[in-house]
Structure 1
Amino acid sequence: MSHEQTGSAWFAGFAGGQPDPERLSALARWCEQLAPTEQRKGFERVLLEIASPHTEEEGGRLNAAFDWIGVLADSGAFESAAVALIPRDAIFTGGRLKDGSFVAQVILDGGVGAHSREAQSLAMAWIAALLRAFARQAVETGALTAH
């Protein structure tokens, strides 16, 4: 499954629901605290919590995407699995600091972005930044619809 197919499949399912910004922020903090040896556990929890299909067709695409991301994580390709979760139209960066911690930034289509600091692995830094970007997007969307 290509990055485009994976990102579109799970992102469509997530976008259809009402994300809870506080829950996403808490999940981002949890991801940052995971040791590099616990990254697989991070992917399992994130995949369970971030998306839910609304139709049978979405469910099939979502399952295929999650299976592919699971294969990547099971094989130790954590950075590839994280990139597969980032929507195709998003901008992302990341790196390692001198102290060995990792930082990342994700900017979603439309300009909403967020970052991660002090993560224990690059993959979890990207995931944390992505979750925070979704949280910020939910807050901004909620503010626009409230007025």
Structure 2
Amino acid sequence: MHKLNLKCEKFIRKSRYKSYKGTVGKVAKNRLNRRFNTPYALQKLVTDVTEFKCTNDEKLYLSPIMDLYNGEIIGFSMSKRPTLDFVMDSLKQVLQNIGECTKYRTTIHSDQGWHYQHKAWVKTLKQNKIFQSMSRKATCADNAVMENFFGLLK
């Protein structure tokens, strides 16, 4: 490290990204109730947004959607800003796979972030006959599978 003029800086978690901005739309009931297993593909999906701190104080946001059938990430988007379009992009990727191929109606579970309360998100789910499910406020265990994925990824 000395030869390459590298210095070690202590890792400090300064803050966490929080997408909750109060009730800005309708909060859906928790349909999953921590039942994270399913024998059917595309029946139960989970999503969330996480933040990565990069160099020069830049941030990068990730919005994956995971199928609880096998833990596969079936859609994702990345952005420098956590906008509605960024979250909708990952949903649009998943909608291409959902349709007649599912045996049971799809449920997508998220936290109560403003993205998931937004009327565009809710309308898109309704148009595609997808049930919406949300974690209870301040209950990260309701979306434990996605939080675990983020922990492993980081």
TM-score by length of structure 1 reads 0.29
Query: Quick check: which one's strand share is greater?
Result: 2
Give the structure, 1 or 2, with the largest relative contact order (CA under 8 Å, sep 6 or more): 1
Larger radius of gyration: 2
TM-score by length of structure 2 reads 0.28
Query: Quick check: which one's helix share is greater?
Result: 1
